[in-house]
A and B are shown apart, each in its own frame.
Chain A
Amino acid sequence: MLSASLRATALLLVLCCLVYPALVTGIAQVALPETANGSLVRAEDGAVIGSSLIGQAFRSPGYLQGRPSAAGAGYDAAASSGSNLGMTSQKLADRRAATEAALLAQNPAAPGPVPELLLTASGSGLDPELPPAAALWQAPRIAAARGVDVARIRAVIDELTVGRDLGFLGEPRVNVLAVNLALDRRFPEAR
């Protein structure tokens, strides 16, 4: 029994931990190098700006900002995490109140109350996206910072909004980094 166990372990190690990952990596790297290497977004000089799938912290008023993040010190892409705070947690209530106050101060012209998504931390802390309503809410601030008409900011967000997958899966959303890249491209002079 022991001999068979040892031999089976060795055989399955070769199959599952050598042949299998080597084949997958080989094919993925040749056929799908973009995604296999992390869907990296590069500047014109080739420097890596980020990944289209990984959220980033944006602080300037001229950029669209993502959700609060509990990953490391915020959007630490090597330390993914949610807040893991429950609804009865005082820590959560305090954090929400602080975030809300800060957002209201930064967005004096924003329409209506702060969207729920901008007050809640995502599960990964790396959520790269926002629902369109939470992005449009920030449009007046971005427009003011960039000195352009708010309708043009809204147009950028609308254009980059994607619907539910196959029409019914998940939620409509817009990628924060994609919006910010588009903003810099179209309104480069002002930020």
Chain B
Amino acid sequence: MDANGWFQIWSFAAIVLAFAFPVGLWLHRVMEEHDAPVGGALRRAEVLGYRLIGVDPSREMSFREYTGSVLTFSAVGLIFTFVVLRFQSHLPFNPQGFGDLSWHLALNTAVSFTTNTNWQSYAGESTLSYFSQAVGLVFHNFTSAAVGLAVAMAVARGLTRVDRAGTLGNFWRDLLRAHLYVFLPLSFVYALVLVTGGTPQTWSAYVHARTLEGADQLLAVGPVASQVAIKMLGTNGGGFFNANAAHPFEDPSPWINLVQMVSIFLIPAGLVHTYGRMSRNVKNGYAILGSMFGLFLVLTGACYAAEAGWLGGLGNWEGKESRFGMAASSLFAGVTTSASCGAVNGMHDSFTPLGGLIPAVNILLGEVVFGGVGAGLYGVLVMVVLSVFLAGLMVGRTPELLGKKIEVREMTLAAVYILVFPIFVLIPAGSASVADWGVSSLNNAGPHGWTELLYAFTSATGNNGSAFAGLNANTPWYDTLLAISMFFGRFAMMVPALAIAGNLAAKRAVAPGPGTFPTDGALFTGLLASVIVIVGALTFFPVLALGPIAEHVSLATRY
């Protein structure tokens, strides 16, 4: 550990904080105001878009209609990508002549990208054609992020609206506006910034090189920049290359690395501010942002300390790039796992036991410390509901949030939301650990092998997508089970969140009284952080004790 390393971490946090306010303002303007935020060509494109889709953007949707639209749209995209991957050898832009994907790999990958997970059972540069990457996958990089943003807005509307109409907005309007005014323009500028830093953007075939010693090297290139830009902004995380952001073409230099980390948090952090504005008290947003920053800095600091060596030393360099070093690699690990992104610039599998524990804990907290685009906000809002419920129990009053009563139905739905994680992490991971098909895919033995396995289902259910990448997940069993975890980790959490919002949208808001627990102060920041830790960490403490903690103890006794 050194002062410069801590300075990198703190300056990153300061930049994110500085951006949260304007980004939140912009998102509010784009998603909540009736008129388009900018006129001209974009406005005309928006109007034309509604006509092409055949919808009336001003028609408000109920919970059922909004959810139905989300699920139908996601299903169409999932099937589309499955077909593209299954038949990629018959499609254009395949200069390396890659073959079709197996049914299970195509299924896993299609679910993975539809659910904003971007778990990769394949190695990009040796499996996928340019068409599969730029069309089959990038489509979801955009749309899954936009769907997340749309759902987060719908949930926030349900909590904050006081008209008792029970409606949550119009999905098609949210979807199109998120693309036109947020993701497409930002990605366009961002992709060009990446190219200036060294990221390739070409449709030509891989390049043959002959080294100074006369050896052959085949340089994989491709339309990388356009994919990496939205991969980060949309908290997708699926790399063009197998090594993801550790690959020098994806993340060529430390300053690009900083830009990439900021771009992961940009929208999740901004959205919290957007929620504050929607609730007519920006402090509601700041209170949530405070919990997020607190948890993030503590956990990331712990990861840095573990990787760099608590008491000095050279640090753990296996799996890390020399241009990044300990601080930038640990920080990236903290950012990518708390934000449900899943890109990696160093290999988590080779982290120290406690350094690798942190990414797992970040995901197991429920991906609500910033979290994925949209998914982080609707996730943390469920935690907010739970927090005011617990506070209500403690003071003996009917719990209420923004003046709306939290009752049995909301709490039942919140319980369903919370149970998804343990069910889809623990059952498949436990099954795999006692089956031949499960353990034969491991790259490491002992507690570290269990961590590889546990991390895979954690990452899938949390829709994160990062991996302890030694695990060979491209087998029929793993591909299928991970696809199931990813699917339910997305939709079985999204639908209850929307249902809570639909319920609350129809409720009367009463003025705050003396028994109202305030959600806009430091007390609530602390309560929310505690609830996140208790719900997330305590559920999984026993399985973490068997993996990284046991490994740490065995390492400590060895020396």
A132 to chain B, nearest CB (A): 10
B263 to chain A, nearest CB (A): 15
Given known pairs A20-B187, A50-B219, the reply for A86 and B323 (CB within 8 Å) is no
Is A63 within 8 A of B321, CB to CB?
A: no
Choose one: A60, A77, A85, A125; the contact of B443 (CB below 8 Å): A85
Q: Which of B72-80, B102-110, B487-495 contacts A (4 or more CB under 8 A)?
A: B72-80
Is B73 within 8 A of A8, CB to CB?
A: yes
Kindly state whether residue B23 has any CB partner on chain A within 8 Å: no
Beta-carbon nearest neighbor of A52 in chain B: B198
Instruction: Annotate A100-144 by CB proximity to B: 1 below 8 A, 0 otherwise.
Output: 000000000000000011011111111111110010000000000
C-alpha spacing A59/B213, complex, angstroms: 8
Is B138 within 8 A of A16, CB to CB?
A: yes
Which of B452-479 touch A at CB < 8 Å?
Answer: 468-470
Given known pairs A87-B352, A170-B324, the reply for A12 and B211 (CB within 8 Å) is no
Instruction: Annotate A49-74 by CB proximity to B: 1 below 8 A, 0 otherwise.
Output: 11101111111100100010001000
Beta-carbon nearest neighbor of A53 in chain B: B248
C-alpha spacing A70/B345, complex, angstroms: 15
Kindly state whether residue B247 has any CB partner on chain A within 8 Å: yes
Instruction: Annotate B69-96 by CB proximity to A: 1 below 8 A, 0 otherwise.
Output: 1001101110010000000000000000
Choose one: A16, A180, A184; the contact of B142 (CB below 8 Å): A16
Beta-carbon nearest neighbor of B140 in chain A: A16
A122 CB contacts on chain B under 8 angstroms: 246, 319-322
Instruction: Annotate B241-276 by CB proximity to A: 1 below 8 A, 0 otherwise.
Output: 111001111001111011000000000000000000
C-alpha spacing A63/B187, complex, angstroms: 40
B140 to chain A, nearest CB (A): 9
State the interface size on chain B (CB cutoff 8 A): 116
B420 to chain A, nearest CB (A): 24
Is B217 within 8 A of A38, CB to CB?
A: no
Is A88 within 8 A of B551, CB to CB?
A: yes
B470 CB contacts on chain A under 8 angstroms: 84-86
Kindly state whether residue A150 has any CB partner on chain B within 8 Å: no
Choose one: A8, A119, A120, A131; the contact of B53 (CB below 8 Å): A8
Instruction: Annotate A70-100 by CB proximity to B: 1 below 8 A, 0 otherwise.
Output: 0100011111111111111110100000000
C-alpha spacing A162/B176, complex, angstroms: 44
14 contacts between A and B (CB under 8 A): A15-B179, A24-B201, A35-B195, A35-B196, A67-B322, A78-B206, A81-B243, A82-B319, A85-B318, A87-B551, A88-B554, A88-B555, A124-B246, A181-B212
The 9 closest A-B pairs by CB, nearest first: A170-B254, A123-B246, A84-B470, A80-B243, A171-B325, A82-B347, A169-B254, A124-B243, A120-B317
Instruction: Other than A84-B347, A122-B321, give 16 A-B pairs with Cβ distance below 8 A.
Output: A4-B55, A21-B223, A36-B201, A38-B202, A38-B219, A50-B211, A55-B248, A57-B211, A77-B218, A82-B350, A82-B469, A84-B319, A86-B356, A88-B446, A88-B551, A173-B322
